[in-house]
Amino acid sequence: MSDNKATLNVPGRDPIDLDIYSGTLGPDVVDVSALTSQGLFTYDPGFVSTGSCESKITFIDGNKGQLLHRGYPIDQLAEHSNYLETCYLLLYGELPTRDQYNEFSGIITRHTMVHEQIRTFFQGFRRDAHPMAIMCGVVGALSAFYHDSLDISDEEHRKIAAFRLIAKMPTLAAMSYKFSIGQPFVYPDNSRDYAENFLHMMFGNPCEESKIDPALSKAMDRIFLLHADHEQNASTSAVRLTGSSGANPFACIAAGIAALWGPAHGGANEAVLEMLEEIGDESNIDTFIDRAKDKDDPFRLMGFGHRVYKNFDPRAKVMRESCDEVLEVLGMEDDPLFRIARRLEKIALEDEYFIEKKLYPNVDFYSGIILKALGIPVNMFTVIFATGRTVGWIAHWHEMISGEYRIGRPRQLYTGSVQRDYKDFSKRK
C-alpha cells in the first residue's frame, strides 16, 4: 500500500484509487493490479509505459543518456572495470574486494569447459546453420547435462547455474564458429583471462600457439561489458517471463537468446554491417537516409533509434571510442565501412527527421565494425551480444526467483468473434 494515490475516473463507475510508488530514480509507477477486480485491464502494446517488475540492477535515463549498473555509470565501468568484475557487480550488487574478485574469476575460469558429450551435439547441425540457431539449441540443451543444478528453489543450485552459464557461453559461442568453418574445437585455456580465452577458442588451433594482442582482448572485454545488461529489454523480459513459470535457468537463457536474435533487438549489429556493406560508398548514403524516412519503405537505419534513449546511447559513445582505438591498433583507420558509418552518423544527426524522432546511434551501430576488425564473422555478432548479455539475464532471473514472484500472465483487448454455434458443412457457405 502507498500513501500516494491516483484516482481513475471511468464513466459509469465509482472512482478507483490506485497506489503510486516512487523508486530511488526514474518515474513514479501507478499500481494498476486492482483494476481486474473492477472489470478493467490496462492496454499498452509493446509495454511502452508499463513497468513489469521492481529491480535494483540497472537504471536507464533515456533523456540524459544515462546507464547505471548498481549505480555505477557505464562509462566509468568501461574505463576502470572489466567484464568479470561487472558480472560480479550485477550479480551481487557491490564491487568485489580483491579477494572476492580473485575467487569469482577463479570459479568462472574453472567452469569454462563443457561436457564432452556436447561436442557430438553439434554434429546434428548443418555446417551452414546460423550460429544463433545453434546457440538456442545448445544452451537449452545444457539443462539435459546439468541435472545437479536445476532446483531453482535451492540458492546453491541457482549460484552454480549462474557460474556455469557465464563461464560456458564463450566456449559454446566459439564452438558454434569452429563448427561452421570445419575446424576442430579449441579447449579453454585457464591461463588466459575471459576475453583473451574467447579469442583463443575462436581463432586458435591445435597446430600452433595462439598469441592474442592485449589491445584486442581488451576491446573484446569492453564489448562484453557494454552488452552486459540493459534493464527490462525484450530478451531480459523474455527470460523473466520464462523464469516466472519455474523453468530451469538454462531454458530461460535459451529463451533470451531466441528473443535477442531479432533484427529490432540484438540482431541489429549483424544488420548494421549488412546495411553498411549494402550502402557500399559514401555517395549512396543520402539514398538510404531517404529510404529510412519513407513511411512506405520498411527499411530502417539499423543501429539507430531506441525505445528508451531519446538522447545518445552512452554505450555507443564508448563503443565509438573503442572503434577508433582498435582500428588504429590494426592500422585500419581508413576502414571504408567505418568511414561510411561516421559519415552516416553525421548526416543522420543533422537531418530533421532523425532530430524530430530523437533517433541516435545505439549500442549496435559501432559494435559490428569493431567485431569485424577483430576478425569475427558477421553472423557471429549477435552471438557475441548474447554472450555478454548472459550475466544480465541471469542477474534478473536470480533477482526474480530469489524474491516474491508470480507467473507472468498478461491479458488482452479481445476484438474477435462473439460466441457462435458450430455449423455442419451443409450449413456453411
**Which residue is closest to ligand SDX by CB?**
305
Cell of 17: 484509487
Which is it for the CA torsion 126, 132, 137, 142, positive or negative?
positive
Q: Which of 96, 243, 256, 303 binds ligand SDX (CB under 6 A)?
A: 303
Q: Do the Cβ atoms of 161 and 146 come closer than 8 Å?
A: yes
| Beta-bridge mates of residue 59 | 68
Among 168, 200, 306, 396, binds ligand SDX (CB under 6 A): 306
Q: Are 424 and 119 in contact (CB under 8 A)?
A: no
Q: What is the spatial distance between Cα 397 and Cα 236, in angstroms, rounded to a whole number?
A: 8
* 69 given a catalytic annotation: no
Least spacing, CB of residue 345 vs ligand SDX, in Å: 12
Tell me if residue 148 falls in helix, strand or coil. helix
Draw the binding track, 115-154, toward ligand SDX (x: CB under 6 A; -: no contact). ----------------------------------------
Residue 130 is a catalytic residue = no
DSSP state, residue 361: B
d(CA 19, CA 2): 5
Report in angstroms how near the CB of residue 20 gets to ligand SDX at its nearest. Answer: 25
Neighbours of 212 (CB within 10 A): 19
Q: What is the DSSP letter of 16?
A: E
Catalytic residue (choose from 230, 364, 396, 398)? 364
Tell me: does residue 304 bind ligand SDX (CB under 6 A).
yes
Q: Are 377 and 174 in contact (CB under 8 A)?
A: no
- Per CB under 6 A, 301 contacts ligand SDX: yes
Tell me which amino acid residue 2 is. Answer: S
Active site residue: 75, 111, 265, 324, which one?
Answer: 265
Distance between CA 368 and CA 372 in Å, rounded? 6
How many Å apart are CA 271 and CA 335, to the nearest integer? 18
What string of H, E and C letters represents the secondary structure of 57-111? CEEEECCCCEEEECCEEHHHHHHHCCHHHHHHHHHHCCCCCHHHHHHHHHHHHCC
Please report how close the Cβ of residue 4 comes to ligand SDX at its closest, in angstroms.
28
238 binds ligand SDX, rule: CB under 6 A? no
Select from 96-104, 113-121, 265-273, 330-338 the region that touches ligand SDX (CB under 6 A).
Answer: 265-273
Of 179 and 304, nearer to ligand SDX (C-beta) is: 304
Q: Does residue 25 touch ligand SDX according to CB under 6 A? A: no
Q: Tell me the window of 109-117, 187-195, 294-302, 332-340 that interacts with ligand SDX (CB under 6 A).
A: 294-302
Residues 6+ apart with CB under 8 A from 364: 266, 268, 269, 271, 272, 302, 303, 385
CB of 149 to ligand SDX, least distance (A): 26
Count of residues of this chain found to bind ligand SDX when the rule CB under 6 A is applied: 22
- Which residues from 336-395 bind ligand SDX, rule CB under 6 A? 357, 359, 362-364
Q: What residues from 409 to 428 belong to the interface with ligand SDX (CB under 6 A)?
A: none
Which one of 6-14, 202-210, 262-270, 405-413 is the stretch in contact with ligand SDX (CB under 6 A)? Answer: 262-270
Say whether 364 is catalytic: yes
d(CA 223, CA 421): 58
Judged by beta carbon, residue 141 or residue 257, the one nearer ligand SDX is: 257
Separation of first and last alpha carbons in the chain: 56
State the amino acid at position 52 in one-letter form. S
What's the CA gap between 102 and 117, in Å, rounded?
A: 30
Question: Phi and psi at residue 18, in whole multiples of 5°?
Answer: -125, 140
Report in angstroms how near the CB of residue 215 gets to ligand SDX at its nearest: 25
Is 317 one of the binding residues for ligand SDX (CB under 6 A)?
A: no
Nearer to ligand SDX among residue 28 and residue 290 (C-beta): 290
User: Binding ligand SDX by CB under 6 A: which of 111, 307, 317, 339?
Assistant: 307
Taking the C-alpha atoms of 77, 78, 81 and 87 in order, what is their torsion angle to the nearest 10 degrees?
80
Q: Could you identify the residue written with the cell 502494446?
A: 45
Given candidates 20, 113, 215, 264, which one binds ligand SDX under the rule CB under 6 A?
264
* Residues 6 or more apart whose Cβ sits within 8 Å of residue 120: none
Selecting among 69, 306, 396, 398, the annotated active-site residue is 306
Q: Specify the stretch interacting with ligand SDX by CB under 6 A; choose among 16-24, 195-203, 259-267, 401-409.
A: 259-267
Binding site for ligand SDX (CB under 6 A): 46, 230, 233, 264-266, 268, 292, 300-308, 357, 359, 362-364
User: Which amino acids are annotated catalytic?
Assistant: 265, 306, 364
